[in-house]
Amino acid sequence: MLRDLINNHTPLKNNFERLSTLFQCAINAYKYPLNGNHLSQLGELSGYYCVYDIHQRMIQHPVGQRILNDKPRVTPETFKIEELLKLNENTFGYQYGKFMRDRDFSSGERPIVKYIPDLELAYVYQRYKEIHDFIHVLLMYDVSVYDEIVVKWFEMAQLGLPSATLSAFVGSFKLNCQEKQKLIETLPEILKRANKSEFIMNVYFEEHINTDITQLRKSLRLL
């Protein structure tokens, strides 16, 4: 399941090459904000130590340990939308399948990690990207600019990743006045949920496909 990570790995020879690549990715992310690859690679290059900290939190948790051992992936093959939509409507699996179908999304669209040198940490960052849509479903936020920014604030508070922090702060400036006011009113609650809830990287989502979505939110302390 890690063959794509191995094949996509691009080692950087030294700190100068890392900094120059980081600078180029930052420019491209600003110039082409709709291209997710640039922001993704910027996150990889700027978030190594944060990803290391996430890894440490995972290995200190029994479920996190199992995730790191099993290394499950979220792909069109492991999460078949047509199969998920056959489940009861109140299940997490059905709600995720409906979320993806209604927006014509595919889990295969997530960019593969490229620049993180350690394969174990590369998997951790890939896992973070692949469960992003799960977070949308659990938090009950859509994919508008406003909704995406709220989710990024949650991710920033939970994970501390520079890419989430950048998206949360910079993205907030792109909102209109009404949306900014709404965000100001929403932030205390979303940050509270992020701080009190289960660490999202230690959730084995694959084992909750048939779990009642409300019960799952409650068990993760998201309600």
> 24 or 214: whose pLDDT is higher?
214
Least confident of 129-138, 159-168, 178-187, 199-208: 159-168
What pLDDT does residue 31 have? 62
What pLDDT does residue 178 have? 95
pLDDT band at 29 (very low <50, low <70, confident <90, very high): low
Residues annotated in a binding site: 132-133, 136, 148
The overall pTM is greater than 0.85: yes
Q: Find, among 51, 56, 47, 46, the residue nearest to 19 by Cα.
A: 46
pLDDT band at 48 (very low <50, low <70, confident <90, very high): confident
Is the confidence at residue 154, as pLDDT, over 80?
A: yes
Residues annotated in a binding site for Zn(2+): 132-133, 136, 148
Least confident of 19-33, 93-107, 161-175: 19-33
CA 70-103-197 angle, to 5 degrees, is: 50
pLDDT band at 158 (very low <50, low <70, confident <90, very high): very high
Decide: 112 and 126 in contact? Cβ < 8 Å.
Answer: yes
Burial letters 87-108, b for 16+ CB under 10 A, else e: beeebbbbbbbbbbeeeeeebe
* SS3 (DSSP) at 89: coil
